[in-house]
Amino acid sequence: MEAIKLAITGGRVIDPAQGIDRVADVLISDGVIQEITEGSSGDVPSGFESLDASGKIVSPGFVDLHTHLRDPGQEWKETIVTGTRAAAYGGFTTVCAMPNTDPVQDSAAVVDDVVRRAGADGAIRVLPIGAISIGQKGKQLSPMGELADAGVIGFSDDGNPVTDDNLMRQALAYSVDVDLPIINHAEDKKLVAGGVMSAGAVATRLGLPGAPVEAETVMVARDLHLADLTGARLHVPHISTLGSLVALRSAKECGVDVTAEVTPHHLTLNDEWVYGLNGDVPAVVSVEAYDTNTKVNPPLRSREHKEAVVEALSEGLIDIIATDHAPHAATDKVCTYNEAAHGINVLETAFASVFGLVETGKISIQRLIESLTSGPAAILRKDLGSLKKGFSADVTIIDPGATWIVEPEKFESKSMNSPLGGVQLTGRVVTTIYQGETVFELPVEASVGSGAGK
């Protein structure tokens, strides 16, 4: 087969790992990056197909450290096939699969199965995460060495916190030997005490049981101290409270080996979204209230916490954005707020939802792209998330002027549980290239309203 040679021409190439932000051509051959040219002359080298990216942003393919693919075991919510297609649609070329599947990814056999099927059927790269404890039950450590040999990129019981302090200490201590991070779902269930959203004025007004922000903060603080004790690498998932940020800052200043992620929804939505009016606060609570698509763990916080995580991401205290893509079937959400499952469907709206923060000047485009590319790649310690010569040709092309309405019923994901249905977003992934091959291209009719060429 003839090798595919592709020249992506005339786009604004932003590659934070190399400090590049200029109009240039990106040349791809044999599935790897060959070169980023100095400028863009309009000439396409002979033998290359060309893809016009003028007016667009050309970014390294996005890397998601936190994805729930639900496969094996809950294939009615998502599969490796639909989840990786949703990822490609959202501009992701690598996703890390959380192990809370059925069976749990707590043995090499289950991890091997996910890796094999993802390689055969996945649209993009899937890197597995192994469980911290057997069955994610928090009682007995998983075979961490065996899981490391099977290729996991870290360990997590995500969905469940590791409640037992000493088990957490042991997990951190063993993780040092295999040099992989521990990712603990930081939530003190006893403090949550049945809360279904973040405690505060909105919960009170809606008559919903609220969980205090301290349910997260105390466990983040514990984990940071145990990481310090063991010298292990800790990665804090979906950080969402001011208190967690204070603890994170002090740990980083003390040299604790810690990184942290924040989700697109904690950056852009607050607890007022539970009113079901896209963040508006009604004079009288209306029938739209109790929008179960806003139920997520950790819960959407108040405005103050939301603004704090945005600032922390912008300055780099929070290292990266990760989606916590958590697809759920309609039956998990068409019920009361108390009964509804936790989780938001994120992959396909991730970039555009956060791009709003660039538009309002809260974060730079370079920092946003870094937090989706070289940032997570650095935590993975893999040659990903950059357009360096010889790296896998994983490229995401964005139309920064495109406006579009989120239509969950059209998601590539099997599920539709997004609170952003009907919301207009600006900035859209138009092409995703994985290992030199186009795995997603926005159909032309869908680009109506595009700002390209303006």
CB of 7 to Zn ion, least distance (A): 41
Q: Examine the residue annotation and report whether 324 is marked as an active-site residue of this protein.
A: yes
DSSP string, 48-72: -EEEE-TTSEEEEPEEEEEE---TT
CB of 442 to Zn ion, least distance (A): 30
Pick the closer one to Zn ion by CB: 190 or 454. Answer: 190
Pick the closer one to Zn ion by CB: 129 or 232. Answer: 129
Site string for Zn ion, 150-189 (x = CB under 5 A): --------x--------------------------x----
CB-closest chain residue to Zn ion: 185
Binding status of residue 235 toward Zn ion by CB under 5 A: no
Contact 394, 435 (CB under 8 A): yes
How far, in Å, CA of 305 to CA of 69, rounded? 28
Contact 6, 51 (CB under 8 A): yes
Give the 3-state secondary structure of residue 398: strand
CB of 278 to Zn ion, least distance (A): 25
Binding status of residue 332 toward Zn ion by CB under 5 A: no
Dig out the tokens for 300 from the structure: 């959407």
Pick the closer one to Zn ion by CB: 320 or 397. Answer: 320
DSSP string, 181-225: -EE-----HHHHTT--EESSHHHHHHT--EE-THHHHHHHHHHHH
CB of 96 to Zn ion, least distance (A): 13
CB of 295 to Zn ion, least distance (A): 14
Give the 3-state secondary structure of residue 426: strand
Neighbours of 154 (CB within 10 A): 24
Q: In this structure, what DSSP letter does residue 24 have?
A: E
Pick the closer one to Zn ion by CB: 15 or 188. Answer: 188
Total number of residues that touch Zn ion (CB under 5 A): 2
DSSP string, 92-127: EEEEEEPS-SSS-S-SHHHHHHHHHHHHHH-SSEEE
Kindly name the residue from 157, 188, 291, 324 that is annotated as catalytic. 324
CA 371, distance to chain mean position in Å, is 10
Q: Which of 370, 367, 344, 361 lies closest to 423 in space, CA to CA?
A: 344
CB of 344 to Zn ion, least distance (A): 12
Binding status of residue 261 toward Zn ion by CB under 5 A: no
Q: In this structure, what DSSP letter does residue 322 have?
A: -
Pick the closer one to Zn ion by CB: 15 or 216. Answer: 216
CA distance to 163, 207, 219, 272, 287, per residue, from 282 (Å): 39, 15, 34, 9, 11
Pick the closer one to Zn ion by CB: 185 or 328. Answer: 185
List active site positions.
324
The footprint of Zn ion (CB under 5 A) covers: 158, 185
